[in-house]
Amino acid sequence: MRLEAIGKRYGMRRPWVVRGVSADLRAGRLIRVSGRNGSGKSTLLRVVAGVSLPSTGRVTGRPHTGYVPERFPGGLPFTGREYLLHLSRVHGLRGALGRQRVEEWLERLGAAGYADQSLRSMSKGMCQKMAIAQALLPAPGLLVLDEAWTGLDQAARAELDAAVAERVAAGGTVLFVDHDPALLAGREDERWNFDGAGGVTVLTGPAPYAAPQAERVTIRLETADAAGVMDQVRAIDGVRVISVDVEEAERS
Amino acid sequence: MTALLRYQTSIMLRSHRWIFPLIGYALLIAVGAAGSTSLAETLDWSGAMLVPVVAFLTRAMLTAEPDAARACVAAAAGPVRAQLATLIVPLGGGAVLGVVAAVFDVLTAAAAAKAPASGLAAKVTAAANHPGILAGGLLIALVCVLVGSAAGALCNPPLLRHPAAAMLSTLAAIVLALAADVSPASAAISHTTTQAASPVAANWPGTGALAGAVCLLVLTWAVSVIAATRRDNWSASSG
């Protein structure tokens, strides 16, 4: 999937919210989108998810998409289960498969006991679980999460982390915004940083997410050639980040 | 598309947004049936009253879904198809009402034929002897459903987002649709009143009216769909 010079503004006389964003969204990548409030993150996410069309540029090769909006206020005349069954059909899942996926995600997110409540009477967190469940129902090739973790309990947060990892491992692309830097920390393959004017800088991580999990290892080395040793350690397969705390040996 | 139509139909039925248009329409056709002298005239009236009913049903559907829920559906099925489903469902509702009203008109008509017959079977037979009357009436209803849908699509979100402005312009569009000479609905209805010399004469809308209504519908739906794919926020204040 590719973004080609995406620009977005809401009206001819309004300022550009996003401009000149070009990027490849490769399979099996986890992408964190960051930037200050109002910098255009949500707008870019909606364009990537195909919810709205860009004002300039184009998006090509979008796989089947699941989108979790920033806030999901419910407001529809359905129970949670009815809503998810409708959305499973909209996602193209038929009959028994759709029902099975709905039950599976209600269970995983810890919402099965509340699924027969009306969306209008659900708590914020429970509504958020419905929004997450509908996006994950079709096992989408592209998952777009706009602060999807907000309002979730610990168990559901962990389950969403796991679901993101599953999507990436299955060759999907996951794009997410969250203001908590600890969320999925160190797991992202790319970071898209918004500047103040609607532009995006893409920072690419060195390894795909499918690589083995990073571990923190502290090694104490005594050497006369610190720079040379560092290069050798960096060259070891699987090493991604090195932080060095050099202590100068006392010369006597 | 079937899944989207099913979803939107459920929203319409479950949110009870059909109640006021339905009650309003039932009252209007009851009044019309009581006041007309021929079946053709009755059908004319119940067709014309579909314009406000479909316009407000369309408004109801365009304001039924919160932005976030619409975004989820648009990501899953594409924003164009999502918006089309939102517009098709009230149009279909109007068509169903039109057919029901035509059946009601036939069953209650006092002068379906030259010699007013009493009894249900006689009325049905009289109408069956002049199928043109019913067919013409249904075509008029079709023109009015299309025009009503066009008015609703043009005067409501995502094109007109402020609730007061949307309500008032929807009302104005309905009045224009029924009164202005250029409106296909008005043309269809007035075309017939000039014809209705004999109580068994069939009233046919002009082909111009039908073509005009189709063009109007295509144009307004296109504008509404284009706006739906470009605007993220349908509430009045921002975006």
Given a cut of 80, is residue A212 above it in pLDDT? no
Q: What is the pLDDT of residue A211?
A: 43
Give B57-82 as a DSSP string: HHHHHHTTS-HHHHHHHHHHH-HHHH
Of A45-49, A192-196, B51-55, B233-237, minimum mean pLDDT range? B233-237
% of chain A at pLDDT higher than 70: 88
Beta strands A18-24 and A2-8 are: antiparallel
Q: What is the pLDDT of residue B239?
A: 39
Between the alpha carbon of residue A216 and those of residues A32, A186, A239, B14, the distances in Å are 22, 11, 10, 55
Q: What is the pLDDT of residue B238?
A: 43
Give A184-248 as a DSSP string: TTTT-SEEEEE-TTS-EEEEE-SS-TTSPPP---------S-HHHHHHHHHHSTT---------P
Say yes or no: B132 contacts chain A, CB-CB below 8 A: no
Outline where DSSP puts E strands in A83-219: 142-146, 173-177, 190-194, 200-204
Residue-wise pLDDT tens digits, B8-28: 999 999 998 899 999 999 999
Chain B residues touching A135 at Cβ < 8 A = 72, 75
| A221 contacts A230 by C-beta, under 8 angstroms | no
Chain A residues touching B78 at Cβ < 8 A = 50
% of chain A at pLDDT higher than 90: 64
Q: B85-111 b/e with 16+ CB inside 10 Å = b?
A: bbbbbbbbbbbebbeebbebbbebbeb
Q: What is the pLDDT of residue B40?
A: 83
Task: Summarize the confidence of residues A20-38 as an average pLDDT.
Answer: 92
Inspect the interface and report whether the beta carbons of A77 and B78 lie closer than 8 Å.
no
% of chain B at pLDDT higher than 90: 65
Going by pLDDT thresholds of 50, 70 and 90, the confidence category of residue A209 is very low
Inspect the interface and report whether the beta carbons of A50 and B74 lie closer than 8 Å.
yes
Inspect the interface and report whether the beta carbons of B232 and A52 lie closer than 8 Å.
yes
Going by pLDDT thresholds of 50, 70 and 90, the confidence category of residue B126 is confident
Given a cut of 70, is residue A208 above it in pLDDT? no
The whole-angstrom separation of Cα B228 and Cα B157 is: 8
Q: In angstroms, what separates the C-alpha of B129 from chain A's closest C-alpha?
A: 46
Inspect the interface and report whether the beta carbons of A72 and B15 lie closer than 8 Å.
no
Between the alpha carbon of residue A179 and those of residues A34, A40, A146, A149, B237, the distances in Å are 8, 14, 10, 10, 26
Candidates A106, A149, A158, A154; CA nearest to A128 is A149
What residue in A sits closest to B232 (Cα-Cα)? A52
Long-range CB contacts for residues A179-188, cutoff 8 Å, separation at least 24: A179/A147, A180/A149, A183/A149, A184/A30, A184/A32, A186/A214, A186/A241, A187/A30, A188/A30, A188/A31, A188/A32
Residue B227 tokens read as: 């706006």
What residue in A sits closest to B239 (Cα-Cα)? A10
Chain A residues touching B79 at Cβ < 8 A = 50-53
Candidates A155, A113, A119, A153; CA nearest to A134 is A119
Task: Summarize the confidence of residues A182-202 as an average pLDDT.
Answer: 86
The whole-angstrom separation of Cα B144 and Cα B128 is: 24
Which residues are bridge partners to A30 per DSSP? Answer: A174
| B35 contacts B70 by C-beta, under 8 angstroms | no
Inspect the interface and report whether the beta carbons of A68 and B76 lie closer than 8 Å.
no
Residue-wise pLDDT tens digits, B50-107: 999 999 999 999 999 999 999 999 999 999 999 999 999 999 999 999 999 999 988 8
Q: What is the pLDDT of residue A245?
A: 63
Expressed in angstroms, the distance from the first to the final Cα of chain B is 28
Q: What is the pLDDT of residue B123?
A: 73
Element (H, E) at B131: helix B131-154
Q: In angstroms, what separates the C-alpha of A175 from chain B's closest C-alpha?
A: 14
Chain B residues touching A69 at Cβ < 8 A = 67-68, 71-72
Count Cβ atoms within 10 A of the Cβ of residue B14 and give its class: 0-12 exposed, 13-18 middle, 19 or more buried.
Answer: middle
Q: Which amino acid is at B62?
A: L
Among A69, A70, A90, the residue with its CB nearest the CB of B4 is A90
* Averaged confidence pLDDT in chain B: 88
Q: What is the pLDDT of residue A38?
A: 87
Task: Summarize the confidence of residues B209-228 as an average pLDDT.
Answer: 96
Residue-wise pLDDT tens digits, A155-178: 999 999 999 999 999 999 999 999
Of A72-81, B29-38, B135-144, minimum mean pLDDT range? B29-38
Given a cut of 70, is residue A3 above it in pLDDT? yes
Inspect the interface and report whether the beta carbons of A70 and B73 lie closer than 8 Å.
no
